[in-house]
């Protein structure tokens, strides 16, 4: 892509078509953290069911999770699949939070972006997408989240190489857009909506796509 205006105009086209997405689907920063861990490698509906189960059992808080044994936690988040691993990851996060930041997310989020990213990336089971989701949507730090939808849409648009690394994709956006957490928040949310509803993996609905006129990989509707 030649300049930042093109990337901004893609966002404007999505915003005009879909309106502000108001992401992340959670009431508090703690719920964003919990949701980001539960959503690893599964559809959001699986994570959502696990969140609801935690809520019904009065465990939808980082303090409650910290005080609950992994063996009790795991069955409650079964719908998120890989639930033993995810119970451990929740506990890994809360152990860090309580050991280093007095159990208070606002203390943790006072760290600057780079050291905080490094700290979270050192947690076992935390990859770049999970960490960046926490940084952007819970800590409100200006970092662009890359996911499978982003890779698919931008490679079909002919603007990125689907095989490029996470960091290369991230730099593609961050080198061309202002470091604005609100913009990164809604841009990623727009891409999730487009990828989920229109730019589908097998049969993209290109005739409904607001990016149709600029897409190298668009498909004509079946006659």
Nearer to ligand SF4, 73 or 198 (CB): 198
Q: Is 212 an interacting residue with respect to ligand SF4 (CB under 6 A)?
A: yes
DSSP secondary structure of the chain: ---HHHHHHHHHHHHHHH-----SS-SSHHHHHHHHHHTTTS-HHHHHHHHHHHHHTT--SHHHHHTS-HHHHHHHTGGGSSHHHHHHHHHHHHHHHHHHHTT-HHHHTTS-HHHHHHHHHTSTT--HHHHHHIIIIIS--------HHHHHHHHHTTSS-TTS-HHHHHHHHHTTS---HHHHHHHHHHHHHHHHHTS-SSS--GGG-TTGGG-TT--PPP-
CB of 152 to ligand SF4, least distance (A): 7
> Interacting stretch for ligand SF4, rule CB under 6 A, among 36-44, 49-57, 109-117, 209-217?
209-217
CB of 210 to ligand SF4, least distance (A): 8
- Here's the x/- map for ligand SF4, 140-169, by CB under 6 A: it reads as -------------x--xx------------
Q: Is 209 an interacting residue with respect to ligand SF4 (CB under 6 A)?
A: yes
CB of 188 to ligand SF4, least distance (A): 15
Applying CB under 6 A, among 40, 86, 217, 222 the residue interacting with ligand SF4 is 217
Nearer to ligand SF4, 150 or 170 (CB): 150
Q: Is 198 an interacting residue with respect to ligand SF4 (CB under 6 A)?
A: yes
Structure tokens, 77: 């988040």
How many angstroms separate the CA atoms of 151 and 91, rounded?
30
> Interacting stretch for ligand SF4, rule CB under 6 A, among 88-96, 167-175, 184-192, 198-206?
198-206
CB of 212 to ligand SF4, least distance (A): 4
Structure tokens, 68: 């609950």
Residues that bind ligand SF4 (CB under 6 A): 153, 156-157, 198-199, 204, 206, 209, 211-212, 215, 217-218
């Amino acid at each position: 892509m030649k300049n930042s205006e093109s990337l901004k105009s893609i966002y404007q086209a999505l915003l005009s078509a879909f309106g502000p997405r108001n992401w992340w689907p959670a009431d508090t920063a703690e719920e964003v953290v919990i949701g980001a861990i539960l959503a690893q490698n599964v559809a959001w509906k699986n994570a959502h069911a696990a969140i609801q189960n935690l809520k019904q059992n009065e465990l939808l808080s980082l303090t409650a999770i910290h005080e609950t044994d992994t063996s009790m936690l795991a069955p409650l988040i079964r719908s998120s699949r890989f639930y033993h691993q995810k119970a451990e990851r929740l506990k890994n996060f809360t152990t860090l939070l309580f050991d280093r930041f007095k159990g208070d997310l606002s203390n943790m989020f006072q760290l600057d972006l780079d050291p905080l990213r490094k700290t979270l990336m050192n947690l076992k089971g935390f990859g770049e997408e999970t960490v960046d989701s926490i940084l952007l949507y819970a800590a409100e730090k200006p970092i662009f989240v890359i996911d499978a939808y982003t890779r698919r849409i931008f490679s079909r648009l002919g603007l990125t190489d689907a095989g490029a690394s996470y960091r290369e994709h991230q730099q593609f956006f961050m080198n061309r857009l202002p470091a604005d957490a609100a913009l990164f928040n809604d841009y990623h949310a727009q891409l999730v909506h487009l990828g989920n509803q229109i730019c589908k993996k097998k049969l993209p609905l290109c005739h409904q796509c607001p990016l149709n006129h600029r897409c190298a990989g668009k498909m004509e509707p079946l006659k």
